[in-house]
């Protein structure tokens, strides 16, 4: 279990309930933000066609989603940074996770957060 996952488990009941209400589970909350930073990093790393505009969009959506979760659920912004650090640590150690969320679930959750 990563530091971010341990911190999530240690959240107070009210915060956990707010996250579960918004995401369905604590695991989905973690995975969504893990995948957001993964997408952002991969766009910057591999630079496919139109990467600059796509990267700007992902960064914008990440900021909106992060602000909403911090504000509505009372999450410490440092916890969000810990989730992002998990991705980079795993990337550096060639241990990237296979996503459990489908692309459709990911997009649906992200849209829910930024609308």
Q: In which band, very low, low, confident or very high, does the pLDDT at 70 lie, cut at 50, 70 and 90?
A: very high
CA distances from 24 to 11, 28, 35 (A): 16, 7, 16
Number of domains in the chain: 1
Average pLDDT, rounded, for the chain: 95
Q: What is the largest CA-CA distance in the chain?
A: 44
Domain of residue 39, residue span: 3-114
Mean pLDDT of 51-62: 95
User: Would the pLDDT of 115 be above 90?
Assistant: no
Supply the pLDDT for residue 75. Answer: 92
Tokens of 101: 């969320």
Residue 77 has pLDDT above 90, yes or no: no
Question: Is 90 exceeded by the pLDDT of residue 42?
Answer: yes
Cα-based torsion angle of the residue sequence 59, 85, 91, 31 in order, rounded to the nearest 10 degrees: -70
pTM of the model: 0.93
SS3 content of the chain, % helix, strand, coil (to 5): 80, 0, 20
């Amino acid at each position: 279990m990563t530091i971010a996952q341990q911190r999530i488990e240690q959240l107070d009941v009210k915060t956990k309930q707010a996250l579960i209400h918004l995401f369905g589970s604590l695991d989905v909350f973690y995975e969504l933000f893990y995948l957001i930073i993964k997408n952002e990093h991969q766009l910057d790393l591999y630079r496919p066609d139109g990467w600059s505009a796509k990267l700007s969009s992902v960064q914008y959506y990440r900021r909106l989603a992060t602000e909403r979760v911090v504000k509505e659920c009372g999450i410490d912004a440092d916890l969000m940074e810990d989730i992002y650090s998990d991705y980079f640590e795993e990337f550096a150690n060639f241990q990237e996770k296979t996503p459990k969320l489908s692309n459709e679930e990911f997009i649906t959750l992200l849209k829910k957060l930024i609308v």
